[in-house]
Amino acid sequence: MARSDLPESVTRDGSGPGGIPARSPLVSLVISLRPEQWTKNLIVFAGLLFGRQLFDVRAVLTAVGAFTVFCALSGVVYLVNDVADREADRRHPLKCRRPVASGALSPRTALAGAVAIAVVALASAFWINLLFGAIAVAYVALMVGYSARLKHIVILDVLTIAIGFVLRAAAGAVAIPVKIDHWLLVCTVLLALFLGLSKRRHELTLLAGGAIEHRKILGEYTPYLLDQMIGVVTASTLIAYILATIDPEKVREFGTPYLGLTIPFPLYGIFRYLYLVHQKEGGGSPAAMLMNDRPLLACVALWVVAVVVIVYGLGHM
């Protein structure tokens, strides 16, 4: 006799809708926070690195705390976004497996978890310092605005994501605190635009004719238009980074003219990313590409090592 006491979202073999393994609400909540996206918050450590506080234990601990706060707030944003997009996600070949879209996590539970995590994270942010807390609130407000409205407005959708990264970078600087470097903000917004536009292109090519059904804003873009935008942003990002490394003010601040030796790393990294987007149909998840592509990961790691050696080593010679 067939069992009638199984939840509607669970099949007889113990799996959820679409063959997705059944999980407890807590596990589904953690999955929805997308902890694998932690790399997006590494920009919080930029102020620590370029503020020459890398070997100050107190500054490092504060930066780790700031990083943890933004990992939590990013998870809150993902929860809100998944609830808002659950109907569209169900029509996506990959996003349909997300807990909220698949029915493994109810919208009410997701929002309750988001509120609880947001309260703890924002309280921690204000404990670090008031300005850091204010930026954290601005970040949450911006991202909620993105989920509610801004992601449906052409160009503003990717600009909003880019500004979110700028707020992370600024927050990392004020948490320590060190001076907010204007070059850091310029390079951050341009690089974030590059990644955001590449993601839009990936969505268009992956979903093809069904792109508009999943996300209406994709109807405002074409691969050609996105390629033009990516070309402009790519050149702008590299030029901004080059100018930053040879800026006389930076040379005086770091006490070395050799920061320009790091230019090959962003050159290779951006070109490698473009190769993965165009030749390997990547770009859907920048975090996954960074962690799964060894040449790209090695490039980023070597760039960090080179910056540390030049800024903290040669800068004291």
**Which residue type, as a one-letter code, is found at position 13?**
D
212: pLDDT confidence band, cut at 50, 70 and 90? Answer: low
Tell me if 185 sits within 8 A of 170, measured CB to CB. yes
Q: pLDDT at position 87, please?
A: 83
Specify burial of residue 272 (Cβ count, 10 A radius: 0-12, 13-18, 19+).
middle
In the predicted model, is pLDDT for residue 195 greater than 70? yes
211: pLDDT confidence band, cut at 50, 70 and 90? Answer: low
Looking at the chain, the whole-number percentage of residues with pLDDT higher than 90 is 59
User: For residue 30, what are its two tokens?
Assistant: 């953690």
Residues forming a β-bridge with 21: 15
Q: pLDDT at position 286, please?
A: 82
In the predicted model, is pLDDT for residue 1 greater than 60? no
- By mean pLDDT, which of 79-93, 125-139, 142-156, 231-245 is the weakest? 79-93
Q: pLDDT at position 316, please?
A: 55
- 76-89 average pLDDT score: 87
- Nearest Cα residue to 172 out of 78, 46, 5: 46
pLDDT tens, position by position, 256-267: 999 999 999 999
8: pLDDT confidence band, cut at 50, 70 and 90? Answer: very low
Q: pLDDT at position 139, please?
A: 96
- 290-308 average pLDDT score: 93
- 292-298 average pLDDT score: 93
In the predicted model, is pLDDT for residue 285 greater than 80? no
User: For residue 89, what are its two tokens?
Assistant: 């996600």
Q: CB-hemisphere CA count at 13 Å for 108?
A: 0
102: pLDDT confidence band, cut at 50, 70 and 90? Answer: confident
pLDDT tens, position by position, 18-45: 455 567 888 888 888 888 888 899 999 9
Kindly state the greatest CA–CA separation across the chain.
Answer: 81
Spatial distance between the Cα atoms of 304 and 101, rounded to a whole number of angstroms: 38
Q: Look at 281 and 214; give whichever has higher pLDDT.
A: 281
In the predicted model, is pLDDT for residue 7 greater than 80? no
Spatial distance between the Cα atoms of 315 and 117, rounded to a whole number of angstroms: 41
Q: Across all residues in the chain, what is the average pLDDT?
A: 87
Integer angstrom CA distances of residue 6 from 9, 12, 13, 283: 8, 8, 10, 39
Spatial distance between the Cα atoms of 58 and 221, rounded to a whole number of angstroms: 46
- 201-221 average pLDDT score: 74
